Amino acid sequence: MNPKYRKTVIAGNWKMNLLPSDVPAYAARLLELLGGEQPCEIAICAPSVLLPAAVTAFLGSPVSVGAQDVSAQESGAFTGEISAAQLKDAGAVCTIVGHSERRAMHGETDALIAQKLRRALAAGLRPILCVGETLQQREIGAETDTIRLQLKGALSGLEPAALRRVILAYEPVWAIGTGRTATPEQASDMCGAIRTEIRKMFGSPAARAISVLYGGSMNAGNAAELLSCPDVDGGLIGGASLKPDSFYQIVKAVQQ
Ligand code: PGA
């Protein structure tokens, strides 16, 4: 973390877990644990159908609510899709785009992700853009090339003012939901490589200001060490965000 230059963000990604009826108790417990403190920006990216419950439960609290995906289309005949304007109007402040599960299971390309990111920005949502290599790509030493292409594909041509609203997340695919976390060195190297790429594309001030989160089996036990890396500005947390107590432990690790 480098709070002098950029915001620390701890974001939960509930994925396809929890029910609308689970949200009030989750929120009450998390807010009780936080006790009104906000050591960093805190967000919960909930399934769309849980957004109304989450927005209500976290209203006026230090926890903001986000989505996990957004349509690349503005509106119209796109059955099952949810637009950026709809998410925004429902109370979301941010949305994940380009998560590896969507890239792998829904065939999302960098071009589609670029469109989604722009739709989010146009509607006033902060995109959390995920990039990261597969195990196979790491084994052949292609991890930096992979993230470079993903960043270029999604961000090329973006106005600097728009980039300031983007949050990046380095999520090595081999570490997601596997219990196998990147070492602090690996996380630090790759978040640093992402910042270098942003510097090449948008210049030093933009690179210095953008928050780069780490995601992939982050938990209460490893968060403090990962977050102590200068280029790691927070976490995107799946499994460990499903229980308010374990999510809070990660938020608490920001202060250590
Ligand atoms: P995980 O998921 O913490 O369960 O590994 C992270 C993510 O996919 O965002």
Report the amino acid identity of residue 226.
Answer: L
Please state, in angstroms and rounded to a whole number, the distance separating the CA atoms of residues 251 and 256. 10
Give 57: exposed, middle or buried? Use CB within 10 Å, 0-12, 13-18, 19+.
buried
106 labelled catalytic: no
Which candidate in 41, 133, 143, 171 is catalytic?
A: 171
User: Is 80 exceeded by the pLDDT of residue 2?
Assistant: no
Q: How far is the CA of 15 from the centre of ligand 1 (A)?
A: 9
Token readout for 96 is: 């994940």
171 labelled catalytic: yes
Q: Which of 9, 105, 236, 247 to mutate to test the pocket of ligand 1 (most atoms within 8 A of CB)?
A: 236
User: Is 90 exceeded by the pLDDT of residue 192?
Assistant: yes
Name all residues whose Cβ lies below 6 A of ligand 1.
Answer: 13, 171, 176-177, 215-218, 236-240
DSSP bridge partners of 12: 44, 237
Q: What is the largest CA-CA distance in the chain?
A: 49
Q: How far is the CA of 169 from the centre of ligand 1 (A)?
A: 11
* pTM (predicted TM-score): 0.97
User: Is 90 exceeded by the pLDDT of residue 170?
Assistant: yes
Which candidate in 41, 99, 108, 133 is catalytic?
A: 99
pLDDT band per the 50, 70, 90 thresholds, residue 153: very high
pLDDT for the residue numbered 36: 85
pLDDT band per the 50, 70, 90 thresholds, residue 71: very high
User: pLDDT (tens digit, 9 = 90+) per residue, 194-249?
Assistant: 999 999 999 999 999 999 999 999 999 999 999 999 999 999 999 999 999 999 99
Give 106: exposed, middle or buried? Use CB within 10 Å, 0-12, 13-18, 19+.
exposed
